[in-house]
Amino acid sequence: MTVLQLKKPIDYACPDWCENPDHSPGELGDGPLHYGPEFGVVSVQGGAGDLHAMIGVGDDTVFIESPTTLRQHAADMVRAAEWLEANR
């Protein structure tokens, strides 16, 4: 006798914060990639239990999973902007 173990069905429902409910079939591997708000060069995305922020500058993108790291980058950006303003 063969016993089959079925995987838990994937929940494709979007969380309340998802701003793009139309997911393409290519994004549906382990579930859709949800797109949250964008804050200038910072965007928020998440999949199955994986919520992260991304900072995109030019062609480069930095993935950030920790809110503490994101706060540090934000503080660094503010300090850099203040320095630029003071030194122009």
pLDDT tens digits for 39-63? Answer: 888 888 887 677 888 888 778 888 8
- C-alpha to C-alpha distance for 10 and 39, rounded to whole angstroms: 29
* Closest to 61 measured CA to CA, from 82, 84, 38, 29: 38
* pLDDT for residue 68: 92
* pLDDT for residue 30: 61
Q: What strands, in cross-sheet order, belong to the sheet with 42-47?
A: 34-39, 42-47, 50-57, 60-64
Say whether pLDDT at 28 is over 80. no
Residue linked to tokens 């930095």:
62
pLDDT tens digits for 4-15? Answer: 555 555 556 788
* pLDDT for residue 64: 87
